Structure 1
């Protein structure tokens, strides 16, 4: 196994997590300070999701033309340019377009980076090494709000820090090999439908985690502010959720190499449902802190286990296409999650965010109870 390449690819993807962890909450806090409501903030949070859908259809084609490493470098620099323009063009309509471009470019990085990692790892270490990827990515997002808290949200230092990271990240990929080979092929929604019919549990889990991540980084700070917490406590709560995601992914990955991955998956779904329902009940008590940890850990575990299960089944071009479907599902989840939670918070209930996650997790629990839920169905 190429360990140096594994860590180089890991580092490049982590730079994306840190850049998003700094810039996404800053955008939401900036819009809230300008007087925009939850729905407008939710629309802004959903824009990268549309970019994800566009980027997913281009990833295989771009990698086929340029090769995986060159395509990743190009898109990292594209993301840097987009975030830099957010800093110099403080306009809601312009930010909508720039967030779309950010979603497109960084989606290609995720698709190709996850494919590259799953191609490199050996089967007996797959759970731990994919979990290390998931845990490290979550830690990079955790560091994002912490860095933002240090830099402050009253100026544009956070945007410039994110831009600098994405400018430097492509350099670690120079000279690296072992990437999957792929054809120049555009992934369509018809292909996505076939993937969802083959693996509906994995498809649902990915879309649910995407909604979770988009809402946590963009709407959770606003949710906490509206429940009476200060901006510092709100950002600390976001960080606590991501800590749960990050810290417990490694034990989950280790267990995935030793026990039934399907049983572990089902346990994460149940834990996410219960913790989501507990948030409104325990928000004003000390018990909310361990609930935040379980909330993040169970959601992150679903995504990590989904990547592990995909890595078991696919290689090379098929692996890149499968991860393109992951990105499409990610885009759908990122699009619907903030929109539904933002609208629900403004017009139905102030606790719409955790309740929406509880409903999604309950649907996943039902799917996991179906016979042969984790076996690819014929289409």
Structure 2
């Protein structure tokens, strides 16, 4: 097997195991708190700490990669995850659970940045969309594989953390089998030095920061408040839950088709010789934002059309997933070396902020302006993304609009 393919399989496998373990273990911890009579507020704080670590490590991830290298950064992410799960097995003290969940989220944030960047860096020429689409589909599958495995083991089973430890330990072993990542050098080029640093990465990729935020807002943030909006429309709890399911399903199934479509459109654009036309990635991003805006306009009439509400929720989740996937592909086509990891970190940070503030803004909009507040908020956010894409030549430097050869 070729070294590049082996490296990709290793990254895919270790990431899958670590994420499934995390999505299985966190609900198990929350159930333990509930059984012990711990307040909902404390449980919510524990769940929130799984995002705090990502926000803390993301700005530092690219600097860490420069210092220790890509392979060592990925191994460190697996090691921290294994230590976190082992610690949960050794103690039941609440303060330690908070610290260990925070440690796990730091590990997940580091793996998020390094894993995404390595996949696009190792993707064969002309197949970046396919590789990224497969990777994002795999990541999306872990969102429900973890809870499903938890249900199979039993939500009160003491075997859950042991299974999680086996999975994270296996992921750690896989990362040690990664060896030397082929295809690029660890050396920092003059281009990397001139453009190094997170602030520079934000300035050079302002439009993509906006798009990543919009993707996180719709995929991670809106889905959280869909049950509340469903109830406000007069739907019962079952139908409101189906809205969440539809959004989550879409964000998992659209990744690979979006990546394949980018590869196909890019090939057709190259064959036509029309290099001045907008890239396939930008065109598809615009379609996503326009589709979201169009369907959001029908929201005031959803109360009488439950099936349409499910379709709209599916589109929201799918559009958010597409925007994120296309952003990753765009970064992989334009950046290399240290700049690749810095730009990926910026994207992850923007996506995470969108996922975190989405529920806060959504709930506030529903409270202040009844049924119209939520649609107005979604229109404003999607229109901002469309504007950023339409005026990309203003927000992004011209270099960023031209794909770089691998």
Per-residue deviation at 1:229? 2.1
Q: Which residue of 1 aligns with 2:213?
A: 207
- Per-residue CA deviation, residues 315-352 of structure 1 (Å, 9 max, x unaligned), is 12221222222233234334433444566678876998
Say if 1:107 and 1:357 are closer, same or farther in 2 by CA, change over 3 A. farther
TM-score (ref. length: structure 2): 0.74
Report 1:191-270 matches (<5 A).
Answer: 191-215=197-221, 228-229=236-237, 234=241, 238-259=244-265, 260-270=280-290
Question: Equivalents in 2 of 1:318, 1:211: separation in Å?
Answer: 25
Question: Equivalents in 2 of 1:15, 1:297: separation in Å?
Answer: 24
**Are positions 1:178 and 2:181 aligned together?**
yes
Which protein, 1 or 2, shows the higher relative CO under an 8 Å CA cutoff with sep ≥ 6? 1
**Are positions 1:8 and 2:10 aligned together?**
yes
Q: Which residue of 2 aligns with 1:301?
A: 322
Question: Equivalents in 1 of 2:297, 2:162: separation in Å?
Answer: 38
Say if 1:85 and 1:175 are closer, same or farther in 2 by CA, change over 3 A. closer
Contact 1:151 1:157 in 2 (8 A): yes
Give ranges in structure 1 of 5+ residues lacking alignment. Answer: none
Cα RMSD, aligned residues only: 4.1
Per-residue deviation at 1:310? 0.5
Task: Decide which moves more: 40-49 or 54-63.
Answer: 40-49
Q: Which residue of 2 aligns with 1:327?
A: 348
Question: Equivalents in 1 of 2:26, 2:172: separation in Å?
Answer: 21
Per-residue deviation at 1:377? 5.9
Q: Which residue of 1 aligns with 2:83?
A: 81
**Are positions 1:369 and 2:390 aligned together?**
yes
SS at structure 2 position matched to 1:135: helix
Contact 1:28 1:218 in 2 (8 A): no
Contact 2:207 2:396 in 1 (8 A): no
Q: Which residue of 1 aligns with 2:111?
A: 109
Question: Equivalents in 2 of 1:351, 1:99: separation in Å?
Answer: 37
SS at structure 1 position matched to 2:264: coil
Corresponding residue pairs, total: 371
**Are positions 1:313 and 2:334 aligned together?**
yes
Question: Equivalents in 2 of 1:352, 1:41: separation in Å?
Answer: 29
Question: Equivalents in 1 of 2:169, 2:374: separation in Å?
Answer: 34
Question: Equivalents in 2 of 1:7, 1:108: separation in Å?
Answer: 19
Contact 2:7 2:178 in 1 (8 A): no
Q: Which residue of 2 aligns with 1:140?
A: 142
- Per-residue CA deviation, residues 206-237 of structure 1 (Å, 9 max, x unaligned), is 1233344544786667877996425x983x65
Question: Equivalents in 2 of 1:263, 1:24: separation in Å?
Answer: 38
Question: Equivalents in 2 of 1:55, 1:152: separation in Å?
Answer: 32
Contact 1:45 1:218 in 2 (8 A): no
Say if 1:292 and 1:103 are closer, same or farther in 2 by CA, change over 3 A. same
Per-residue deviation at 1:238? 4.1
Per-residue deviation at 1:307? 0.7
Q: Which residue of 2 aligns with 1:48?
A: 50
Question: Equivalents in 1 of 2:222, 2:251: separation in Å?
Answer: 12
Give ranges in structure 2 of 5+ residues lacking alignment. Answer: 266-279, 401-406
SS at structure 1 position matched to 2:181: coil
